[in-house]
């Protein structure tokens, strides 16, 4: 005898609106729609500084704004 089971199709998480503030960079605030807060932060970082800025924010050290903008951090 086979037991019939029903499976629900998985649906992706709904997009929510997040206010993201990239605190080391003055004036870098925006609203974006993303599935999670970490996705929203990643999207905001790419909008403001390209793909390389996420690596700068991942560093445990703190840098000055001038170093971040100059790319020497």
| 49 within some domain | yes
**Cα separation of 58 and 35, whole Å?**
20
3-state secondary structure of 48: helix
Is residue 25 assigned to a domain? yes
Task: With respect to residue 37, please indicate whether it lies within any of the assigned structural domains.
Answer: yes
Q: Can you give the pTM of this predicted structure?
A: 0.47
Inside any domain, residue 3: no
27 inside domain: yes
- φ and ψ at residue 21, rounded to 5 degrees: -125, 115
Structural domain includes residue 39: yes
* Residue 15 reports pLDDT greater than 70: yes
Residue 30 lies in a domain: yes
Tens of pLDDT along 18-39?
Answer: 888 776 666 677 788 888 888 8
Decide if 63 is inside a domain: yes
Residue 49, domain extent: 16-70
Q: How far is CA 10 from CA 5, 7, 17, 18, 34, in A?
A: 15, 9, 22, 24, 18
């Amino acid at each position: 005898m086979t037991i019939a089971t029903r499976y629900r199709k998985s649906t992706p998480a709904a997009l929510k609106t997040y206010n993201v503030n990239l605190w080391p960079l003055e004036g870098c605030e925006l609203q974006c729609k993303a599935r999670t807060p970490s996705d929203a932060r990643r999207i905001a970082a790419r909008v403001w500084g390209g793909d390389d800025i996420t690596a700068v924010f991942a560093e445990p050290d703190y840098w000055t704004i001038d170093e971040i903008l100059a790319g020497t951090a």
